[in-house]
Amino acid sequence: MGYDDNNIFAKILRGEIPCKKVYEDEHALAFHDINPQAPTHVLVIPKGKYVSMVDFAAQATPAEQAGFLRAVGKTASALGLDAGGYRILANHGANAHQEVPHFHVHIFGGKRLGPMLSGGAQPRG
Ligand code: AMP
């Protein structure tokens, strides 16, 4: 799947749509999720045009990958989540219900998050 320049995160990166910014550097932008699923719910996106985890892992340069991972850690620290703990999550594709086709990592925190997955394990069918 090719990268869609009109996806919502591309528009945020271009400044065409506002966001509640938490952190930004040359590799990444972090902002609050518009529909938070926890007291703290922030998205971290790379600045490059990568559709998902598969694309980012295969195509991004080592500097982009390292810079992005560092930005995720810096964002969580900036949010004050290190001591209490937090969860990171990235959805890839249909089974994971990825909605926005620009690679992103969710950071959840601010409460006890409970078991890792909601909805339970479904048999493959
Ligand atoms: P995913 O299902 O992993 O693709 O998650 C996409 C996330 O983007 C969802 O949690 C949405 O609430 C969030 N989202 C969609 N549009 C915006 C926006 N304009 N600003 C911030 N978050 C958004």
Ligand 1 neighbours by CB, cut-off 6 Å: 8, 17, 19, 33-35, 43, 91, 97-100
pLDDT digits (tens, 9 = 90+) for 59-103: 999 999 999 999 999 999 999 999 999 999 999 999 999 999 999
Which class does domain 8-109 fall in? Answer: alpha beta
For a substitution probing ligand 1, which of 21, 31, 33, 54 has the most ligand atoms within 8 Å of its CB? 33
> Which of the residues are catalytic?
104
pLDDT digits (tens, 9 = 90+) for 8-28: 999 999 999 999 999 999 999
CA of 30 to the centre of ligand 1 (A): 12
- CB neighbours of 12 closer than 8 A, spacing ≥ 6? 18, 19, 29, 31, 45
Query: Length of the chain in residues, anyone?
Result: 125
Q: What are the residue ranges spanned by the domains of the chain?
A: 8-109
pLDDT digits (tens, 9 = 90+) for 25-64: 999 999 999 999 999 999 999 999 999 999 999 999 999 9
pLDDT of residue 117: 78
> CA 79, 81, 83: angle at the middle one, nearest 5?
140
pTM of the model: 0.94
Q: Give the residue from 99, 85, 96, 94 showing the smallest Cα distance to 43.
A: 99
Q: Give the residue from 18, 81, 34, 16 showing the smallest Cα distance to 104.
A: 34
pLDDT of residue 125: 47
